[in-house]
Amino acid sequence: MEVIKTPLEGVVILEPRVFGDARGYFLESWSQRVFDELVGPVRFVQDNESKSCYGVVRGLHYQKPPFSQSKLVRCVRGAVLDVAVDIRRGSPTFLQHVAVELTEENHRQMFIPKGFAHGFAVLSEEAVFQYKCDEFYHPEADAGIQLFDEALGIDWRIPREEAILSEKDRIREKISLDHLDFDYLNDRF
């Protein structure tokens, strides 16, 4: 497994070794020992999977402390543009993002630690997306920020007028980043 650092401290891309032959391929998608050694100790408690069609954009989601989540994400069918945004007030990379294409062909995974909002856009006709979380989902801690806010500068590679959003994310589209209070996030991740 190779670890590729990103400009956002703690956010890394994991590239597994893939062994292919005429039968197909084999890869080790998860090893607690290898992850602890290369990234750090994280105890995942929940696995999630979503299936979406082209144009679906999910995010930018996070859970408020004390239920903040770290996630290890991957696309097992199709292709997505995966995005992590630093929401740690006081961080030198506050509101900066990293975006990486995760596909069934490249087998890459991205680790998003606590203190980051996360989202993805489906670039293929269909995508199956999996993620491991180190905290259970708590509806009362569910939060998100605007996907298309110009201050973030994210190119989702989906035209905004074609983006398919959940009702919750459509409501968040009406809230400017200026109106969100990230101060409560200080030193709590």
SS (H, E, C) 46-62: EEEEEEEECCEEEEEEE
Give the integer Cα–Cα distance in Å for 52 and 113: 24
Angle (nearest 5°) at CA 66 between 60 and 72: 50
Output the pLDDT for position 90.
87
Q: What torsion do the CA atoms of 54, 60, 64, 70 make, to the nearest 10 degrees?
A: 70
Q: Could you list the active site residues?
A: 61, 131
Give the integer Cα–Cα distance in Å for 68 and 72: 14
CA-nearest of 56, 71, 54, 69 to 14 is: 71
pTM of the model: 0.91
End-to-end C-alpha distance for the chain, whole angstroms: 27
Kind and range of the H or E run holding 169: helix 167-172
Q: pLDDT under 70 in the chain at which residues?
A: 174-189
Report the top-level CATH class of 44-181: mainly beta
Angle (nearest 5°) at CA 108 between 104 and 112: 125
On whether the CB atoms of residues 129 and 73 are closer than 8 A, the answer is yes
In sequence order, the 6+-apart residues with CB closer than 8 A to the CB of 88 are 94, 115, 116, 185, 186, 189
Q: Where are the domains of the chain?
A: 44-181
In the sheet with 71-77, reading across from the earlier edge strand, the strands are 2-5, 12-15, 109-112, 71-77, 126-133, 46-53
CA-nearest of 46, 105, 48 to 79 is: 105
CA distances from 117 to 70, 75, 78 (A): 10, 18, 22
Output the pLDDT for position 173.
72
